């Protein structure tokens, strides 16, 4: 399988605190591969994600994504890069007072003009709503299409955040602690869902977690961020993770890049 993401001796810090968080991270992720990222609080997992999608500059080293040098991406190039890298933020940043379909379609903004975005918010057309409904079906909550996002449970909101990332049809999904605030049963369901969708779509997935047992159960590789570097973990990976056998998901054929 071809390498999708390559980090070579990446050093990243935060200008505000003048600290170097990641000293030298080297990591290769193949197309369609599922990697769990562990590490203590403050180790630099979120920092690493922000460097991968070009939100934080790197001080040294190199990040290549799908043949592109991330540091060299600007303007339109950066926008195109971020289309290909879905991101579920640690506090999934859905807008509470929007309808579910509006939050989902926010994932399509990388494809849309400002005009189309405004028109959608005011009056979505039937085809756009159907696209939203299909991706919500893929995450198991099609009936929530018109509901207010604030009226959903934490697990349901996490599904909306996944739907929003999926609608941009990314090659890589970065999920930052997607199950941190969920009960153990819901956490397993969400991981099964994400891993199943990643496998179906050939999408690579890097997911930060604090639970080594879940990492070993659902992911093909486990990497730990420790002392500013990435360490391949010797955790025994369960057979279920190679390959992951997801329960049947609703059909998602036809959900892809939203109309240009």
Ligand X SMILES: Nc1ncnc2c1ncn2[C@@H]1O[C@H](COP(=O)(O)OP(=O)(O)OP(=O)(O)O)[C@@H](O)[C@H]1O
Report in angstroms how near the CB of residue 227 gets to ligand X at its nearest: 12
How many other C-beta atoms can be found within 10 angstroms of the C-beta atom of residue 209?
24
Stretch of 43-51, 94-102, 144-152, 185-193 lying at the interface with ligand X (CB under 6 A) = 43-51
The DSSP letter of residue 74 is -
Q: Using CB under 6 A, pick the residue from 5, 47, 135, 178 that binds ligand X.
A: 47
> Please, how many CA atoms are within 13 Å of residue 53, restricted to the half-sphere of its CB?
24
Contact between 18 and ligand X by CB under 6 A: the answer reads: no
From candidates 7, 10, 35, 44, binder to ligand X by CB under 6 A:
44
- Site track for Mg ion across 37-76, x = CB under 5 A: --------xx------------------------------
- Position among 14, 91, 146, 242 found at the interface with ligand X (CB under 6 A): 14
> Taking the CA atoms of the chain, what radius of gyration do you get in angstroms?
18
| Rounded to 5°, angle at Cα 195 from 191 and 196 | 115
| Residue 39 in the binding site for ligand X (CB under 6 A) | yes
Q: Is residue 46 close enough to count as binding ligand X by CB under 6 A? A: yes
The Cα–Cα gap between 157 and 95 comes to: 10
Whether the CB-CB separation of 149 and 96 falls below 8 Å is answered with: yes
Are 222 and 36 within 8 A, CB to CB?
A: yes
**Contact residues for ligand X (CB under 6 A)?**
14, 16-17, 21, 39, 41-47, 90
């Amino acid at each position: 399988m071809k390498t999708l993401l390559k980090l070579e001796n990446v050093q990243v810090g935060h200008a505000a605190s003048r600290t170097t968080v990641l000293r030298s991270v080297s990591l290769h992720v193949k197309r369609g591969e599922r990697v769990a990222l562990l590490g203590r609080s403050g180790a630099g997992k979120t920092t690493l994600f922000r460097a991968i999608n070009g939100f934080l500059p790197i001080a040294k080293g190199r990040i290549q994504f799908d043949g592109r040098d991330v540091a060299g991406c600007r303007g339109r190039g950066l926008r195109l890069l971020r289309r290909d890298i879905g991101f579920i933020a640690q506090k999934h940043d859905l807008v509470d007072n929007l309808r579910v379909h509006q939050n989902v379609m926010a994932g399509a903004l990388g494809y849309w003009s400002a005009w189309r975005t405004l028109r959608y918010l005011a009056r979505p057309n039937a085809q756009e709503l159907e696209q939203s409904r299909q991706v919500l079906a893929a995450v198991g909550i099609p009936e929530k299409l018109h509901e207010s996002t604030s009226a959903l449970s934490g697990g349901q909101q996490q599904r909306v955040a996944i739907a929003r990332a999926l609608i941009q049809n990314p090659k890589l999904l970065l999920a930052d602690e997607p199950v941190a605030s969920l009960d153990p049963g819901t956490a397993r369901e969400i991981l099964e869902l994400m891993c199943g969708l990643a496998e179906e779509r050939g999408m690579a997935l890097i997911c930060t977690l604090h639970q080594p047992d879940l990492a070993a159960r659902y992911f093909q590789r486990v990497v730990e961020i420790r002392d500013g570097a990435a360490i391949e973990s010797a955790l025994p990976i369960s057979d279920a993770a190679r390959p992951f056998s997801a329960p049947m998901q609703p059909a998602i054929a036809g959900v892809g890049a939203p109309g240009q």
